Amino acid sequence: MRTQLHSIRSDSLGRYYTNAVVSQALVADLPSNSPSTVLDLGCGTGSLSFAASRRWANTNIVTVDLDCTIAQVLQEKLRESGFVGGHYHMMYDALSPELATSLRREKAQPEIAVCNPPFLVPKWKRGYSAILEDVGLSSCLPAIATVDAALVFLAQNLRLLQPGGILGIIVPDSIVSADKYKNFRIELLNRYRIRSAVRLSRGSFGGTDALAHILVIENSASNGAAIALSSLNEFGVKTSSLLVEHSKAAHRLDYQFHFAEANARQQGMRLGDIAVDLRRGSLHSAQAKDVSHFVLHTTNLNSHNRGQWLDFSGKSFRFPLAKSGPVTRAEAGDIVVARVGRTAHDKVIGIGAGSVVLTDCLYRLRVSPSKQDAVLQALSSSEGRAWLELHAYGVAARQLTKSDLLNLPLRIL
């Protein structure tokens, strides 16, 4: 596994730069008081700093970035924009445990922090544990080798803010939706006041369709209040807020997920009510390449065969002699649904004839014969595909959990 993951369309530090619509929306969601100091940790090109300078023209803006060329550029852009406050740039590692001491030595603790961290999995450093421990978030993480940089940036910002200060941070979808971060969300909700979460539209960042959210967090004890969730489109128009209680927000902090859930509750029946069996395929990609004959994978499914009953009677399968063991086969009447992939919601077929072995990137769904046609139609309909897309989580390589698939609402007899 690589220790530093980012798209070829991001920069060398894994950063996707914030556009003006997102920057303005983030700053607009912060309290309207006049802070004495605003912190922009890992400031990059300064989009969030400029948005803050337009709202608070007399504040002091502290930017932190390792890029040695950014300070003069930021100074000139702020001056040209008419900003009359102060600007102080620290050429510093934004995730250094010593940053808190250096910041307090130079400036007062900030009242507002804005942040768009890089979307990558960093090589773990010993100091990250100290940062997370300082804010009470060290005991709720998955394996440290897979922790997103955004989570450490979130903790560092909370560590640097004064008590009662407000953080507005952009995080990847995994932080608000992935099962591996559920314990983190529980701890965050129990310890801090989450004022709001805003889902951003795909394409909000240049060069990627990564899904992300804005979290607004107050550096004060949680009051147990419901969380205001909303969604922002590409034109900067935000939906009305949907209030979600803590227990449900811990599952996901995603507006569209909870909006769809609320609508589904009004319809009654779920896929899980009629499913006879749902399981993952059994072969990973390396095994699939190493066996004889055909193995069904996500690459074999597309929008052209979506919702169709396909004939696999001409396909056969056997393990090499050196390998044996049970495999998951889809038989006639079974429905196959993609489990992972950016376009997984578009990959749903039925097995019309024959038998085929599945990779673990696919689900095999079995329902009673009388329901097979209706369920395949429901899953491949525009409503069904929208549900699958909304309930898959992840920044780029989306994943659909078994429980979410079983929660698909059905309107069939």
Angle at 266 between CA 261 and CA 270, to 5 degrees: 65
Which of 210, 241, 265 represents a domain boundary (last residue)? 265
Same-domain status, 141 and 241: yes
pLDDT of residue 117: 93
Domain residues for the domain of 341 are 271-406
d(CA 321, CA 339): 29
Same domain, 226 and 360: no
Question: Above 80 in pLDDT, residue 89?
Answer: yes
DSSP secondary structure letter of residue 399: B
Count up the domains in the chain and report the number.
2
| Range of weakest confidence among 15-24, 45-54, 176-185 | 15-24
Q: Please indicate, yes or no, whether residues 297 and 185 belong to a single structural domain of this protein.
A: no
Find, among 157, 123, 145, the residue nearest to 41 by Cα. 157
* Listed residues 227, 242, 265: the one ending a domain: 265
* Whether 35 and 168 share a structural domain: yes
Asked if the model's pLDDT at residue 158 lies above 70, the reply is yes
The pair of three-digit structure tokens given for residue 175, joined into one six-digit string:
């932080």
Q: At what angle do helices 126-134 and 149-160 cross, to 10 degrees?
A: 50
The verdict on 252 and 215 lying in the same domain is yes
Question: Token pair for residue 342?
Answer: 């950016």
Lowest mean pLDDT among 117-121, 219-223, 262-266, 333-337: 262-266
What does each C-alpha distance from 97 to 30, 35, 92, 113, 194 come to in angstroms?
26, 24, 11, 17, 24
Instruction: Give the pTM.
Output: 0.71
385 CB neighbour count, 10 Å cutoff: 20
- Look up the CATH number of the domain holding residue 61: 3.40.50.150
